[in-house]
Amino acid sequence: MTNSDSRLTKKDRPTPIDQEILIPDEEVLISVTDPKGIITEVNDVFCEVAGYSTEELVGASHNVIRHPDMPKVMFKIVWEHIKDRENVMALVKNLAKDGRYYWILTDFVTKVNASRQVVNYTAYRRPICKDVQNAIIPLYKALNAIEDVAGMETSEKFLNEYLENKGMTYDEMIEDIIVKHCKKAAVLGFGNNTEDDMKTMSPEKKQSLFNKLFGIK
């Protein structure tokens, strides 16, 4: 029997503590949702890191693991992409049940049926190194500060202007941060003059690079 009253909601979120959960490089934290964003499946490592059981997570929304340091506008961008059936990556700080945090690069993948209706969404989360975290934190801090005083419309405007000044789309910014700050990228011969490289690189080559960086099979 489903007891909707016992379902975890954002009211159940713990008070954050300033302690990081370090995730081994090879781990992938996976969850699947229905088209409304309700969790339908999770893998063991996601439960282990998040600190919740499968039973607690299935039926809940991911906002139970949303960290207050994550700007609202970042999830708006994610939802806009996936509702349009476009895959998207996001650098995410999540909140574990004990209040600790963990940083991951999340690949959001939309599965559609033959009539292009959304069947489900899957999130593949991989740990990111400190340099990648440090590259995004100042932007998230600025967006959060704006949201606190002026709301999400204003933070969205700020983000759009920020991207315009950089001459990049949101997707290009994320790729740029990863390739410039991920240690493995330098080993693969990336990291210098990356802006040009990423802009001119074919989608297939980009996919292959990210596969190499994050061990996607």
Ligand X SMILES: Cc1cc2nc3c(=O)[nH]c(=O)nc-3n(C[C@H](O)[C@H](O)[C@H](O)COP(=O)(O)O)c2cc1C
Binding positions for ligand X, rule: CB under 6 A: 10, 31, 33, 37, 61-63, 65-66, 70, 75, 92, 94, 106, 108, 121-123
CB 51 within 8 A of CB 65: no
> Would you say 33 or 194 has its CB closer to ligand X?
33
| Closest C-alpha among 69, 77, 76, 79 to residue 33 | 79
Shortest Å distance, C-beta 4 to ligand X: 17
Shortest Å distance, C-beta 110 to ligand X: 9
Shortest Å distance, C-beta 101 to ligand X: 11
The DSSP call for residue 85 is T
Shortest Å distance, C-beta 102 to ligand X: 10
C-alpha of 204 from chain center: 22
Strand order of the β-sheet with 29-33 is: 39-42, 29-33, 118-127, 101-112, 88-95
> Would you say 52 or 158 has its CB closer to ligand X?
52
Q: Which residues pair with residue 106 across a beta bridge?
A: 90, 125
Q: Which residues pair with residue 110 across a beta bridge?
A: 121
Shortest Å distance, C-beta 100 to ligand X: 14
> Would you say 106 or 194 has its CB closer to ligand X?
106
Tokens 């292959």 sit on residue: 208
> Would you say 66 or 184 has its CB closer to ligand X?
66
> Would you say 121 or 140 has its CB closer to ligand X?
121
Tell me the pairing of strands 118-127 and 29-33. Answer: antiparallel
Shortest Å distance, C-beta 13 to ligand X: 9
> Would you say 63 or 169 has its CB closer to ligand X?
63
201: enclosing H helix or E strand: none
Cα separation, 133 vs 120, whole angstroms:
28
